[in-house]
Amino acid sequence: MADNTTPAIELRGLCKRYGSGDTAVDALKGVDMRIAPGEVVGLVGPSGSGKSTLLKCLGAVIDPTAGQMFLGGEAIFDEVWKVKDLRTLRRDRIGFVFQAPYLIPFLDVTDNVALLPMLAGKSNKEARRRALELLEALDVAHRAKSNPALLSGGEQQRVSIARALANNPPVILADEPTAPLDGERALAVVKILNDMAQQHQTAIIVVTHDEKIIPTFKRLYHIRDGKTYEEAVS
Ligand SMILES: Nc1ncnc2c1ncn2[C@@H]1O[C@H](COP(=O)(O)OP(=O)(O)OP(=O)(O)O)[C@@H](O)[C@H]1O
């Protein structure tokens, strides 16, 4: 990424140690990353290499042990805590897409997407308007009033992407978002993530093992034994 752009995400020497003493595990051993607004990058690595730990640190779900993390140039983890309100940080600045869509079964599709903007203080009307706009963009508005259980796997995943985008977060963390999908639907989800990144300048990290989508990333980070390496992709 260009040096003069403020990165959406920047990690400097991020470390995470679980436990202490003889049983301590150093899951992250000094991770450096810079991701610009609008970039979609892949993160690949073998089992136990630290992918989940890195996503949990990025999502402010767990604290790193050392190092620095910045979102949009603002220190999130530093020598001291700079951001106290992690709930607000997770709600407004980071969108999550998981392997399973985890839609709420007793809310219809629209309310699943509208819930986060409502929690962030938008009126019901405004939150639903935003939800419908996203459902349309993701080509799933025809299921707006359905119970999520009645949707196909690909439709449910598109709804979960709409939910991740609902508060217009500058960062989206996607953990194996295409794992349950066939090749065509997996590539369609990647295209949606790329389109959304371009339109909203969202930075997106996609953790994946999915050989079908790995060649689509313009930048790819490998993680091995708690350290990341960037692969130059032509
Ligand atoms: N809560 C924990 N306590 C102790 N060690 C942990 C904990 N969570 C993860 N680890 C260890 O940290 C290392 C990295 O684990 P992590 O789950 O981040 O890897 P991963 O790349 O996501 O693996 P997978 O692809 O199998 O999910 C592993 O050695 C793991 O055993």
Tell me how many domains the chain contains. Answer: 1
Q: Which amino acid, one-letter code, is at 146?
A: S
Neighbour tally for 73: CB within 10 Å = 9
Structural domain includes residue 162: no
Structural domain includes residue 47: yes
- Residue ranges of the chain whose pLDDT lies below 50: 2
Return the closest-CA partner of residue 44 out of 173, 230, 194, 202: 230
Neighbour tally for 29: CB within 10 Å = 17
Distances (CA, A) of 222 to 55, 97, 229: 14, 20, 5
- How many A from CA of 77 to the centre of ligand 1? 21
Structural domain includes residue 69: yes
Structural domain includes residue 195: yes
Q: Which protein residues are within 6 Å of ligand 1, measured from CB?
A: 18-19, 25, 27, 45, 47-53
- How many A from CA of 49 to the centre of ligand 1? 7
- How many A from CA of 126 to the centre of ligand 1? 40
pLDDT score at 2: 47
Q: What is the CATH number of the domain that holds 43?
A: 3.40.50.300
Structural domain includes residue 165: no
Report how many helices (DSSP H) and strands (DSSP E) the chain contains, helices first.
6, 10
**Residues forming beta bridges with residue 229, ordered by sequence position:** 222
Asked if the interface predicted TM-score (ipTM) of this complex is over 0.85, the answer is yes
Neighbour tally for 27: CB within 10 Å = 23
Mutate to test the pocket of ligand 1, among 43, 49, 62, 205 (most ligand atoms within 8 A of CB): 49
Q: Which residues contact 61 (CB under 8 A, 6 or more apart)?
A: 90
Phi and psi torsions of 92, nearest 5° = -100, -25
- How many A from CA of 190 to the centre of ligand 1? 26
Structural domain includes residue 176: yes
Structural domain includes residue 68: yes
Concatenated DSSP letters for 99-124?
SS----TTS-HHHHHHHHHHHTT--H
Q: Which residues contact 146 (CB under 8 A, 6 or more apart)?
A: 108, 109
Structural domain includes residue 154: no
pLDDT score at 160: 93
Q: CA dihedral in degrees (164, 13, 225, 58; nearest 10)?
A: -10
Cα–Cα dist 95/174, whole Å: 8
Structural domain for 63, as ranges: 9-101+170-232
Mutate to test the pocket of ligand 1, among 44, 52, 57 (most ligand atoms within 8 A of CB): 52
Q: CA dihedral in degrees (199, 163, 116, 114; nearest 10)?
A: 100
Return the closest-CA partner of residue 159 out of 142, 175, 171: 142
- pTM of the predicted model as reported, rounded to 2 decimal places: 0.88
